[in-house]
Structure 1
Amino acid sequence: MSKKTIVTLVDDLDGTDAAETIAFAVDGAAYEIDLSADNAAALRATFEPYVKAGRRTSASRRGGRSSSAGSGGATPKEIRAWAADNGVDVPARGRIPAGVHEQYLAAKH
């Protein structure tokens, strides 16, 4: 016996038939929303000035931030070297504490 499954998207805003699922992220949280063609166009129009002014980042990282986005473009290796040269304690491996990032940015700007 064969089976056919039909998936129907429903617009999350108004309950009409949806044309597509749109993924987006804000403040480090990722979202998906099913929208009709009209509502999808309205969402894109709303985001357009922010997309044009923003920087594209890797979608593979949570929240869409690149590894150097919060560090003024520096790599963790560069920040660790700066910290060692300036007597700032920083772990040899793993995440660099926010306070060290802030010190690095303040020293570089």
Structure 2
Amino acid sequence: MARRIVHQLVDDIDGTLLEVGEGETVHFSVNGVAYEIDLTNAHAEELREALAPYITAGRRTAASGSRTSAPRKRAARNSDSSAIRAWAKEQGLDVSERGRISAEVLEAYNAAH
């Protein structure tokens, strides 16, 4: 048995079926939220005309998803985690073989050394 999957685009404003080569998907963003909408050529033009005064008056920014504040710095890693894990096991503390060492274990290790 054969299966055929048909992908059809429909104008999101009026439900017009978009044939191959007709219409387009328009991408835009407002308040940091990205949107896309499938539109006939006429509706795409209407959207561009409606946004034109705002686009002209506005200024371009970096691509969406960019940070406006400085990136957070990662916490400094203790370079001797294997020694800390070994010490914690000797002390009977619960410590995993991999991953982050809990703050409690680190505090106990630092207090002892």
What is the TM-score of this pair, normalised by structure 2?
0.50
Q: Whole-Å Cα distance in 1 between the matches of residues 46 and 67 of structure 2?
A: 28
Q: Whole-Å Cα distance in 1 between the matches of residues 6 and 13 of structure 2?
A: 21
Identity percentage over the alignment?
45
Q: Whole-Å Cα distance in 2 between the matches of residues 11 and 36 of structure 1?
A: 6
Q: CA shift at 1:27, angstroms? A: 1.4
Runs of 4+ in 1 over 2 A off after TM superposition: 1-7, 65-68
Identify, as 1 or 2, the structure richer in helix: 1
Structure 2 unaligned residues grouped into runs of 5+:
74-113
Given residue 17 of structure 2, which amino acid in structure 1 is its aligned partner?
D
SS in 1 for 2:28: strand
Aligned equivalent of 1:94, options 72, 92, 97: 72
Aligned equivalent of 2:46, options 24, 42, 48: 42
Greater C-alpha radius of gyration: 2
Structure 1 unaligned residues grouped into runs of 5+:
69-75, 77-92, 96-109
What is the aligned partner in structure 2 of residue 57 from structure 1?
61
Q: Whole-Å Cα distance in 2 between the matches of residues 3 and 42 of structure 1?
A: 38
Contact 1:22 1:34 in 2 (8 A): yes
Contact 1:8 1:17 in 2 (8 A): yes
SS in 2 for 1:51: helix
Q: Whole-Å Cα distance in 2 between the matches of residues 50 and 4 of structure 1?
A: 44
Aligned pair count? 69
Given residue 94 of structure 1, which amino acid in structure 2 is its aligned partner?
R
What is the aligned partner in structure 2 of residue 67 from structure 1?
68
